[in-house]
């Protein structure tokens, strides 16, 4: 897939850039509690400002379902964005119509304006062509810098890109380049790590990856389902026992497609999930009591994963290896994360991670900044890993 970037825009002096950003930030009592998504948008905003464009920001917040819900206004974001940008940011009470057009017209070249929540209009999520046209009437070019919303075919993510010259913003470009390096055109061998609680939520992901990877390590609660399917005692551990046949199918697919499946060979068990709980290491196949719960991968599994990472050139990671939120059951996730980050820093491994739990786990391990790339996109990252086309990305294809 090829797409235009901000390097391809030509002169922007006197033009208005409509920029789709993801400002769906955590809020509490009308205050932004995590400004990560605001900071991610800064390079694109500043590049356009420096080029002399008016910058009109389009975003959604929460789920107002096509109605004006004052508590879901984007206005509280303005102060934080101004502080981060070090420049004034205007706010428009609507994202379409004469009032929005007039507000954009009032800002100077290099000025920035945030338009009100696009989801206050039912046409946004319906990808209504008339609403997309109303948006397009406000600007001269479209920039999508919200990969995290690219899995939605909405007016501001897909419809608008069909009506104006469309470009990938700096954040979108970094994301697409990283994902291409991880699965599109990766350096081989490629290893994947997939963890989390349930096989059922990641079926499409697992089925796609066994056809793409050289090795796939499965951890977390979903690994228990695979162990159970093979007749290995998992005691009272979290597992989807009704998914055993599906797990066996995936094992068969992996074998048929030449993907080595790495399941835990040992694990850490305890009878309760609480910080500092008494635990022990058990080899796979040893008997467990009904009270025993598998809560982390064991040291032999970690050693095998470390060896596999060292032999790989590319890593794609989604999901922790254990209950990392509750020490000591974070041990395996932290150890593997540190090794992956060290290899990435040494330039011998392209290490890409993504998904909510993965980001939290890598931050917990203190290595998020040392990985090659960490995506905060959530649903879009998962759908991309599942091999599904993302409408907001497809619309940028030239």
Please indicate if the annotation marks 61 as binding a ligand. Answer: yes
Give yes or no: residues 141 and 191 share one domain.
no
Q: Average pLDDT, stretch 67-93?
A: 97
Give yes or no: residues 95 and 202 share one domain.
no
Give yes or no: residues 248 and 310 share one domain.
yes
Please indicate if the annotation marks 154 as binding a ligand. Answer: no
Please indicate if the annotation marks 318 as binding a ligand. Answer: no
pLDDT surpassing 80 at residue 102: yes
Please indicate if the annotation marks 147 as binding a ligand. Answer: no
pLDDT surpassing 90 at residue 20: yes
* Active-site amino acid positions: 37, 198, 356, 379
User: Residue 34 sits in a domain of what CATH number?
Assistant: 3.40.50.1260
Q: In which domain, by residue range, is 224 found?
A: 186-385
Give yes or no: residues 349 and 222 share one domain.
yes
Cβ pair 151, 144 in contact under 8 A: no
Q: What are the beta bridge partners of residue 28?
A: 31
Give yes or no: residues 250 and 374 share one domain.
yes
For 220, 263, 318, the CA distances from 200, given in Å and listed in that order, are 13, 17, 15
Give yes or no: residues 101 and 73 share one domain.
yes
Is residue 397 in a domain? no
Last residue of a domain, one of 147, 174, 201: 174
pLDDT surpassing 80 at residue 1: no
Q: Counting Cβ atoms within 10 Å, is residue 76 exposed (0-12), middle (13-18) or buried (19+)?
A: middle
Domain count within the chain? 2
For the stretch 265-302, pLDDT in tens is 999 999 999 999 999 999 999 999 999 999 999 999 99
Please indicate if the annotation marks 366 as binding a ligand. Answer: no
Give yes or no: residues 155 and 194 share one domain.
no
The 10 Å Cβ neighbour count of residue 350 is 21
Is residue 289 in a domain? yes
pLDDT above 90 as % of the chain: 94
- Rounded CA gap, 68 and 78, in Å? 18
Please indicate if the annotation marks 22 as binding a ligand. Answer: yes
Tell me the whole-structure pTM to 2 decimals: 0.90
Give yes or no: residues 35 and 71 share one domain.
yes
More confident residue, 196 or 370: 370
pLDDT surpassing 90 at residue 377: no
Residue-wise DSSP of 8-73: G----TT-EEEEE------EETTEES--HHHHHHHHHHHHHHHTT-EEEEE---S--TTS--GGG-
Give yes or no: residues 147 and 26 share one domain.
yes
């Amino acid at each position: 897939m090829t797409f235009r970037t901000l390097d391809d825009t030509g002169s922007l002096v006197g033009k208005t850039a409509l920029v789709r950003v993801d400002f769906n930030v955590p809020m509490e009592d009308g205050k932004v509690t995590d400004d990560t998504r605001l900071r991610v948008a800064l390079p694109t905003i500043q590049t356009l400002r420096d080029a002399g464009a008016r910058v009109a920001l389009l975003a959604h917040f929460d789920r107002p379902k096509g109605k004006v819900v004052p508590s879901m206004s984007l206005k509280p974001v303005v102060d934080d964005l101004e502080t981060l940008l070090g420049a004034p940011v205007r706010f428009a009470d609507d994202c379409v119509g004469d009032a929005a057009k007039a507000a954009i017209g009032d800002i100077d070249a290099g000025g920035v304006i945030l338009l009100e929540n696009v989801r206050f209009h039912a046409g946004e999520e319906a990808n209504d062509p008339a609403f997309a046209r109303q948006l397009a009437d406000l600007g001269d070019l479209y920039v999508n810098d919200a990969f995290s919303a690219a899995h939605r075919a909405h007016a501001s993510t897909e419809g608008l890109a069909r009506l104006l010259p469309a470009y990938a913003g700096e954040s979108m470009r970094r994301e697409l380049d990283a994902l291409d390096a991880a699965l599109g055109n990766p350096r081989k061998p490629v290893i994947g790590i997939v963890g989390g609680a349930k096989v059922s939520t990641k079926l499409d992901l697992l089925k796609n990856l066994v056809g793409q990877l050289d090795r796939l390590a499965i951890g977390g609660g979903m690994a228990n389902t695979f162990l159970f399917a093979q007749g290995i005692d998992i005691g009272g551990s979290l597992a989807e026992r009704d998914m055993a046949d599906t797990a066996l199918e995936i094992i068969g697919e992996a074998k048929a497609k030449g993907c080595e499946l790495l399941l835990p060979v040992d694990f850490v068990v305890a009878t309760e999930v609480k910080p500092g709980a008494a635990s022990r290491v058990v080899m796979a196949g040893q008997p467990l009591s009904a009270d025993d719960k598998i809560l982390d991968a064991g040291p032999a599994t970690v050693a095998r994963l470390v060896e596999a990472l060292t032999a790989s050139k590319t890593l794609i990671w989604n999901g922790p290896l254990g209950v990392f939120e509750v020490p000591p059951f974070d041990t395996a996730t932290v150890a593997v994360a540190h090794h992956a980050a060290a290899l990435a820093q040494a330039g011998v491994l392209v290490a890409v991670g993504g998904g909510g739990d993965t980001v939290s786990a890598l931050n917990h391990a203190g290595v998020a900044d040392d990985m090659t790339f960490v995506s905060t996109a959530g649903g879009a990252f998962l759908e991309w890993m599942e091999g599904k086309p993302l409408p907001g990305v497809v619309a940028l294809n030239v």
